[in-house]
Amino acid sequence: MNLLSAILLGVVEGVTEFLPVSSTGHLTITERLLGLPINDAGVTAFTAIVQIGAVAAVVSYFRRDIVHLAATGVRGLRDASARGTDYRLAWWVVVGSVPVGVVGLATRHVVSGPLRNLWVVVAALAGWSVVMWLAERAATLNRTEGDLTLTDAVVIGLVQCLALVPGVSRSGATISAGLFRGLDRVVATRVSFFLSIPALVAAGGYEAAASASDVGASVGWGATVLATLVSFAVAYASIAWLLRLVVHRPISVFAGYRVGLATAVAVLLSTGALSAT
């Protein structure tokens, strides 16, 4: 991979990670447009690793909130008086992160194999747009952060597993699940944000360790590190705007864009202008 391609992919990741449009889907489409073999083990690993940059930007941007939640979660284990909303949120994030870790490991070869196909991305982009629209229609938005329960954490965590399919969108999946559970949009987005940290860091870290030789042989570690740093810079620079947009606008506003992108890619695939893998 040349450095200009690495920079472009880093920008794509940084902009799309926190919008319900699927950063993995966008990376996969862009990689294919750049002529990269998207079912190559090194390219698959690159797609997971570069997301660490955007997550690192969030951790840096919200480091005080994260430290507070972690400290409250630990303190509440020995001090019952500390077991308030933040204590529960900290542990619900832990619980909600377990399903995607288990499912991700169990289905790793499927995710990095048959699912690395642009027809899958097209179907997921269009199909999950319907779910997002239904989530907004069903949303009551009457439950706050203090109303979060263990059931909410499990349900949202299980739905996050569907984001392993390129094109679904991790934020789109988790925010939709929160809306179906009656959470207000701010809470659903906040929970989605916190759940992204362990999920994406674990996925990227695992791929970096397990596929180090594949990345070096096909993409190159120089390009991978550059793309990750660019994704960090772009995400950090735009995170306030991106999160504000998601919080204050219904996620269904992104459905039209998702369907439009899916249609455009489907046309390119059908005409032979673009290959699925």
What six digits make up the tokens of 124?
A: 């997921």
Question: Tens digit of pLDDT for each residue in 69-87?
Answer: 999 999 999 888 888 889 9
* Residue 205 domain-assigned (yes or no): yes
Q: What is the pLDDT of residue 161?
A: 93
Question: Tens digit of pLDDT for each residue in 87-101?
Answer: 999 999 999 999 988
Q: What's the pTM?
A: 0.90
Question: Tens digit of pLDDT for each residue in 13-43?
Answer: 999 988 899 999 999 999 999 999 888 888 8
* Residue 249 domain-assigned (yes or no): yes
Domain total in the chain: 1
Residue with tokens 């959470």: 183
* Residue 139 domain-assigned (yes or no): yes
Rounded CA-CA distance 219/116 in Å is 16
* Residue 276 domain-assigned (yes or no): no
What six digits make up the tokens of 6?
A: 């690495």
**DSSP readout, 107-170?**
THHHHTTTT-SHHHHHHHHHHHHHHHHHHHHH----B-GGG--HHHHHHHHHHHGGGGSTTS-H
Residue 210 in this model has a pLDDT that exceeds 90: no
Residue 220 in this model has a pLDDT that exceeds 80: yes
- Do residues 175 and 189 make contact, with C-beta atoms less than 8 angstroms apart? yes
Q: What is the pLDDT of residue 80?
A: 86
Q: What is the domain extent for residue 16?
A: 3-270
* Residue 227 domain-assigned (yes or no): yes
Identify the burial level of 64 via C-beta atoms within 10 angstroms of its C-beta, where 0-12 means exposed, 13-18 middle and 19 or more buried: exposed
Q: What is the pLDDT of residue 245?
A: 80
Task: Report which of 3, 6, 1, 16 is spatially closest to residue 234, judged by C-alpha positions.
Answer: 16
Helix 3-16 and helix 221-248, axial crossing angle in degrees, nearest 10: 20
Rounded CA-CA distance 208/50 in Å is 10
Question: Tens digit of pLDDT for each residue in 138-163?
Answer: 999 999 988 999 999 999 999 999 99
Q: What average pLDDT does this structure show over 208-212? A: 81
Q: What is the pLDDT of residue 211?
A: 80
Cα within 13 Å of Cα(16), Cβ side: 26
* Residue 222 domain-assigned (yes or no): yes
What six digits make up the tokens of 220?
A: 């190159």
Rg, Å, the chain Cα set? 18
Q: pLDDT category, 122, cuts 50, 70, 90?
A: very high
Question: Tens digit of pLDDT for each residue in 162-196?
Answer: 999 999 999 899 999 999 999 998 899 888 888 88
Helix 41-49 and helix 221-248, axial crossing angle in degrees, nearest 10: 50
Q: What is the pLDDT of residue 62?
A: 85
* Residue 277 domain-assigned (yes or no): no
Q: pLDDT category, 228, cuts 50, 70, 90?
A: very high
Rounded CA-CA distance 201/182 in Å is 28
- Do residues 205 and 48 make contact, with C-beta atoms less than 8 angstroms apart? no
Q: What is the pLDDT of residue 166?
A: 93
* Residue 114 domain-assigned (yes or no): yes
- Do residues 45 and 211 make contact, with C-beta atoms less than 8 angstroms apart? yes
Q: Calculate the average pLDDT of the chain.
A: 90
Q: What is the pLDDT of residue 203?
A: 81
Q: What is the pLDDT of residue 10?
A: 96
Q: What average pLDDT does this structure show over 210-224? A: 87
Q: What is the pLDDT of residue 240?
A: 80
